[in-house]
Structure 1
């Protein structure tokens, strides 16, 4: 099952994270959470991995519409966006909102997922274009 939408950037990690934040904001997404996975694994397990951040992005209008269809959808919100270093590049991956439809089998979520996918693809497009 494909559950993410990736792009690869020729940008330093920190710059990529800032550009991702800006591109998401232009599409109406705010960042509710940020998990620095690299720092967490270093501090808690004394393990080293590449630079790796998970951004919990949320578009309040889309979230509200999804919650109106199914209150349990909060289990799948917000849209996670991963920014990670890989082979001298930075990879950005967004969770495919169509997962909400496939997992819940709620046809009422299709329009919300379609709009979310469009906005997230536009944000990714702004990063590479």
Structure 2
């Protein structure tokens, strides 16, 4: 069972990261954290790893609405979007499926919020993939 929504593009890695951040901003998400996994593994473990970034995305209004319904929801936030180099040289952008993520809370009051986030993430992926 999949817990992400993803696309693969044939474009330079840094350009895909920038496009992803811009598309997230267009959908009302700020990137609260940007984790360079490759750099962290090199520094902390002295190992080489593929280019891989974890973007912690948050839409403050939707986060507020969700946390009003389920105070513990903050443990699942921000929603992560990852960008990484695939083995074939393409770049993959993958977002957590918010409906699956919020499903662990077992609170039907969150369904519409999760659906809204999912719709926005689908538009982000479409934008990164070159569609509008």
1:74 match: 74
Alpha-carbon RMSD across the aligned residues, in angstroms, is 0.7
Distance 1:80 1:59 in 2: 12
Distance 2:78 2:71 in 1: 14
Contact 2:3 2:101 (8 Å CA) reproduced: no
Q: List gaps (5 residues or longer) in structure 2.
A: none
CA drift of 1:102 comes to 1.7
TM-score (structure 1 length as normaliser)? 0.97
Aligned residues: 129
Provide runs of 4+ in structure 1 moved above 3 Å: none
1:13 match: 13
CA deviations 1:84-116 (Å, max 9, x no partner) are 001211000000101243201100000000000
TM-score (structure 2 length as normaliser)? 0.95
2:89 match: 88
Matches within 5 A, 1:1-129: 1-86=1-86, 87-128=88-129, 129=131
Q: List gaps (5 residues or longer) in structure 1.
A: none
